[in-house]
Amino acid sequence: MTTTVEEQIRDMVTTNDVVLFMKGTKSMPQCGFSSRVAGVLNYMQVAYKDVNVLEDADVRQGIKDFSDWPTIPQLYVKGEFVGGCDIITEMTLSGELDQLFEAKGVSYDKTAADKIREANA
């Protein structure tokens, strides 16, 4: 039995607390937007699964259909689509990302999150 791309994506976002669909990998992002979101998650020491959409054209298109969101990167927390680069940047700076992680029980470095806000104040 073969699984559809939609089933693969649903499985990834439900079996991992935090998933970032991105161009490249968390250690080697291949676009500025993916790099920014991965950088925030890495800096805040969030454990997350990175999915390189450049390795699979079906997943690259599939994630856009799945979320009804046209761009990559896309961040999911506990199965819920959070947003792309601009939204994650905004949420990080406003403290909303901290609140989301706390509400969902996702571990992160609060001090690092505060440092990001101080640096961008």
- Would the annotation count 85 as a binding residue? no
What is the separation, in whole angstroms, between the first and last Cα of the chain?
Answer: 52
Chain centroid to Cα 54, Å, comes to: 15
Distance in angstroms (rounded) separating the CA atoms of residues 108 and 99:
11
Distance in angstroms (rounded) separating the CA atoms of residues 111 and 37:
18
In this structure, what token pair is assigned to residue 41?
A: 């998650």
Chain centroid to Cα 59, Å, comes to: 15
Annotated binding site for [2Fe-2S] cluster: 31
Annotated binding site: 31
